[in-house]
């Protein structure tokens, strides 16, 4: 599997299937793990990082996980950005230094970053709201890797991590939510404040500190010590349905109170995406968000959620440039983006899809 | 600021409160003496060192004073490095800096004890961490004989791991 292969497919987490997938784009769990007998990444020498990478790769091979390893130093900036867009690596990893890499499965539901802030950042994503299933799968993968890796662990403090904010379970349990209704009725800040009060973090699509776009927000736990993995998951599975309820109510209010206005807005968004000759990334996100809500409310019936989900990722700069096979300036990208959107939205079945 | 009695630069600044109203007086040294104020000949010792110390204690906890210079024998990170950069250097830091870390963990996580999944015990791992730190030292000191010996020991342990 090469990076170019990935441009022809899309991640499982974008399929738009699974429970509550009208609002919950995907469920994601990440585990932070370190090798017991090495300094953390920030203090490890080049040689030590290379040893860490070799040990992790051997453990992945032994686990028989169908996957490919990408050495970040061997990738162009464009390819690194491409992996960031696909949520396979963090921008910290893209811009880091020294031996480091990522293990990616063909369905893109698993990524294992090696030598990021921690030696291993194992991530598992599935479309829809199914955190217990994700936990079951990532837990099994973690067990397999542990057959060949001695994890840094203390009976009193749990899994030891470079930053004490991740110590204990080392787990981050999150969901990616599409909340255009709460954005439209301006209740979103209120909901976020309520979530923050119970120690849940709210972030944008691309993680820490990134601006939410396309009305997508990630909600995840912050505390990792003193609660079991199951307890942390239960907090999310208890709280997220309430947010979903607020979002559904907001959408229904929009639909009953301002149906014509909403229908008009959604149709115009769809129309612009289908016909524009040049379009910025920001405008695309905004319009795709409208269209996505429109499909869920039955205002658009000739477009699948999966296609819209994919377009959020496949209209990002690096994907477009890889598709064209060359680096493009902003203006050229805007033209390429519009052209790609037209082909995906008017041809019925796009050729890129498998 | 100009002295309120002459045109020299004012260096004595007084404020007083009369019936809840604030009154300010700005004078140069000569006018202040004339007005009967007793001024010290040399600038007083403001005790800046102790002020800084108390500020540090107030903001990063009493323990920092003692802990600040404490460093991990395995990775060389000092507690202060961690407080500045936010990252620990190796797993052993949790033991070495536990007095400083536990209050932080309590504040952030609301807990100081792990509950949940347990890793398999690896008693040999701590020893290997120590061997690696000795290897780094030997390389830094260009003691290649010792480095080769340590590498062999690590390799031997790799096979047993």
**pLDDT tens by residue, A126-145:** 999 999 999 999 999 999 99
Residues of B in contact with A58 (CB under 8 A): none
- Nearest partner of A345 among A279, A278, A298, A275, judged by Cα: A275
Structure tokens at B21: 């109203």
Judged by CB atoms closer than 8 Å, whether chains meet at B88 and A162 is answered as yes
Does the structure show a pLDDT above 70 at A43? Answer: yes
A236: helix, coil or strand? helix
Nearest CA to CA, how far is A210 from chain B (Å)? Answer: 20
- Which residue range(s) make up the domain with B98? 48-109
- Which of B77, B115, B117 is the closest to A226 by Cβ? B115
Tokens 């397999």 -> residue? A144
Cα A103 from Cα A82, distance rounded (Å): 15
Tell whether B143 is covered by a domain.
yes
Residues B89 and B133 in one domain: no
Judged by CB atoms closer than 8 Å, whether chains meet at A162 and B101 is answered as no
Structure tokens at A194: 């309520």
**Residue B146 or B62, more confident:** B146
The percent of residues in chain B predicted with pLDDT above 70, rounded, is 80
A37 and chain B in contact, CB less than 8 A: yes
What dihedral angle (degrees, nearest 10) is formed by the CA atoms of A202, A206, A212, A216?
-80
Tens-digit pLDDT profile for residues A210-249: 556 789 999 999 999 999 999 999 999 999 999 999 999 9
In angstroms, what CA-CA distances link A213 with A22, A172, A176, A209, B75? 17, 21, 12, 12, 41
Structure tokens at B112: 């100081």
Does the structure show a pLDDT above 60 at B44? Answer: no
Judged by CB atoms closer than 8 Å, whether chains meet at A231 and B115 is answered as yes
Cα A194 from Cα A182, distance rounded (Å): 14
Nearest CA to CA, how far is A43 from chain B (Å)? Answer: 5
CB hemisphere CA count around B113 (13 angstroms): 1
Does the structure show a pLDDT above 60 at A209? Answer: no
Q: What is the DSSP letter of B110?
A: S
- Which of B90, B111, B119 is the closest to A226 by Cβ? B111
- Find the mean pLDDT for residues A55-63: 95
- Helical spans, DSSP H, in chain A: 3-8, 46-62, 77-85, 91-95, 131-146, 180-184, 188-197, 229-257, 259-275, 281-296, 305-314, 317-324, 330-346
Residues B67 and B93 in one domain: yes
- Mark which residues 107-126 of B lie under 8 Å from A by CB: 108-120, 122, 124-126
Burial of B43 by CB count in 10 Å (0-12 exposed, 13-18 middle, 19+ buried)? Answer: exposed
Tell whether B101 is covered by a domain.
yes
Q: What is the DSSP letter of A96?
A: -
Does the structure show a pLDDT above 70 at B143? Answer: yes
Mutation target vs B (from A45, A138, A142, A225; most B CBs, 10 A cutoff): A225
Does the structure show a pLDDT above 80 at A279? Answer: yes
Mutation target vs A (from B91, B111, B125; most A CBs, 10 A cutoff): B91
- Nearest partner of A262 among A250, A273, A247, judged by Cα: A250
Tell whether B147 is covered by a domain.
yes
Contacts of B69 (CB under 8 A, 6+ apart): B78, B79, B80
- Nearest partner of A123 among A174, A53, A177, judged by Cα: A174
Judged by CB atoms closer than 8 Å, whether chains meet at A163 and B86 is answered as yes
Residues B66 and B37 in one domain: no
What is the CATH code of the structural domain delimited by A3-243?
Answer: 3.30.590.10
- Helical spans, DSSP H, in B7-143: 29-34, 48-60, 63-67, 79-85, 93-96, 98-109, 125-140
Residues B53 and B36 in one domain: no
Residues B68 and B92 in one domain: yes
Cα B91 from Cα A249, distance rounded (Å): 48
pLDDT at site A206: 67
Tens-digit pLDDT profile for residues B91-131: 999 999 999 999 999 999 999 999 999 999 888 887 888 88
Beta bridge partners of A158: A154
- Which of B91, B109, B131 is the closest to A226 by Cβ? B109
Mutation target vs A (from B114, B123, B137; most A CBs, 10 A cutoff): B114
Cα A110 from Cα A30, distance rounded (Å): 10
- Identify the closest residue of chain B to A221 by CA–CA distance: B109
Residues of A in contact with B101 (CB under 8 A): 164
Tokens 């996580």 -> residue? B109
Residues B102 and B79 in one domain: yes
Count structural domains, chain B. 3
Q: Where are the domains of chain A?
A: 3-243, 259-346
Does the structure show a pLDDT above 70 at A55? Answer: yes
Residues B102 and B61 in one domain: yes
A227 and chain B in contact, CB less than 8 A: yes
Assembly ipTM: 0.89
A139 and chain B in contact, CB less than 8 A: yes
- Mark which residues 263-322 of A lie under 8 Å from B by CB: none
Structure tokens at A283: 């405008």
The helix (H) or strand (E) run that includes residue B157 is: helix B144-160
Residues of A in contact with B124 (CB under 8 A): 150
Tell whether B117 is covered by a domain.
no
Residues B72 and B97 in one domain: yes
Beta bridge partners of A28: A125, A174
Nearest CA to CA, how far is B108 from chain A (Å)? Answer: 7
Tell whether B114 is covered by a domain.
no
Does the structure show a pLDDT above 50 at B45? Answer: yes
Cα A307 from Cα A325, distance rounded (Å): 22
- Find the mean pLDDT for residues A155-162: 97
- Which of A34, A117, A230 is the closest to B91 by Cβ? A34
Structure tokens at B113: 């004890």
Per-chain mean pLDDT for chain A: 92
Residues B97 and B136 in one domain: no
The percent of residues in chain A predicted with pLDDT above 70, rounded, is 96
The percent of residues in chain B predicted with pLDDT above 90, rounded, is 32
Tell whether B119 is covered by a domain.
no
Q: What is the DSSP letter of A74?
A: G
């Amino acid at each position: 599997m090469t990076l170019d292969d990935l441009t022809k497919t899309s991640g499982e987490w974008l399929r738009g299937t699974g429970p509550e997938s009208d609002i919950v784009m995907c469920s994601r769990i990440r585990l932070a793990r370190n090798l017991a007998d090495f300094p953390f990444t920030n203090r490890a020498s080049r040689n030590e990082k290379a040893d860490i990478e070799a040990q992790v790769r051997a453990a992945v091979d032994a686990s028989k996980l169908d996957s490919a390893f990408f050495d970040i130093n061997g990738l162009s900036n464009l390819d690194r950005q491409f992996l960031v867009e696909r949520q396979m690596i963090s921008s910290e990893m893209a811009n880091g230094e020294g031996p480091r890499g990522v293990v990616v499965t063909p369905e893109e539901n698993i990524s294992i970053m090696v030598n990021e802030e921690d030696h291993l950042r194992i991530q598992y994503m599935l479309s829809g709201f199914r955190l217990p299933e994700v936990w079951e799968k990532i837990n099994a993968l973690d067990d397999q890797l542990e057959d060949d890796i001695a994890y840094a662990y203390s009976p009193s403090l749990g899994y030891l991590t470079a930053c004490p904010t991740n110590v204990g379970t080392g787990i981050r349990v999150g969901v990616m939510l599409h909340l255009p209704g709460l954005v439209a009725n301006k209740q979103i800040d209120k909901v976020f404040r309520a979530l923050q009060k119970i120690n849940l973090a709210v972030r944008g699509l691309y993680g820490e500190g990134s601006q939410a776009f396309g009305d997508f927000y990630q909600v995840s736990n912050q505390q990792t010590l003193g609660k079991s993995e199951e307890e942390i998951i239960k907090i999310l599975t208890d709280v997220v349905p309430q947010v979903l309820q607020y979002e559904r109510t907001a959408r229904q209010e929009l639909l009953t109170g301002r149906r014509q206005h909403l229908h008009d807005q959604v149709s115009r968004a769809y129309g612009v995406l289908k016909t524009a000759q040049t379009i910025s990334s920001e405008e695309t996100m905004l319009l795709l968000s409208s269209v996505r809500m429109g499909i869920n409310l039955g205002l658009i019936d000739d477009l699948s959620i999966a296609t819209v989900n994919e377009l959020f990722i496949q209209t990002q700069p690096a994907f477009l440039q890889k598709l064209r096979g060359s680096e493009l300036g902003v203006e050229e990208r805007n033209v390429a983006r519009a052209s790609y959107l037209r082909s995906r939205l008017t041809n019925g079945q796009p050729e890129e899809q498998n | 600021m100009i002295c309120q009695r002459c045109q020299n630069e004012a260096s004595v600044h007084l404020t007083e409160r009369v019936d809840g109203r604030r009154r300010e007086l700005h004078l140069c040294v000569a006018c202040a003496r004339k007005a009967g104020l007793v001024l010290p000949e040399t600038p007083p010792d403001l005790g800046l060192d102790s002020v800084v110390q108390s500020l540090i204690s107030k903001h990063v906890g009493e323990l920092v004073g003692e802990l600040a210079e404490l460093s991990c024998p395995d990775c060389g990170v000092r507690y202060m490095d961690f407080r500045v950069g936010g990252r620990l250097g190796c797993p052993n830091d949790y033991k070495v800096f536990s007095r400083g870390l536990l209050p932080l963990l309590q504040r952030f996580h609301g807990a100081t004890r792990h509950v949940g999944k347990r890793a398999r015990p690896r008693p040999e791992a701590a020893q290997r961490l120590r061997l690696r730190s000795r290897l780094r030292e030997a390389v830094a000191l260009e003691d290649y004989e010792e480095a080769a010996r340590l590498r062999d020991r690590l390799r031997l342990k790799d096979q047993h791991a």
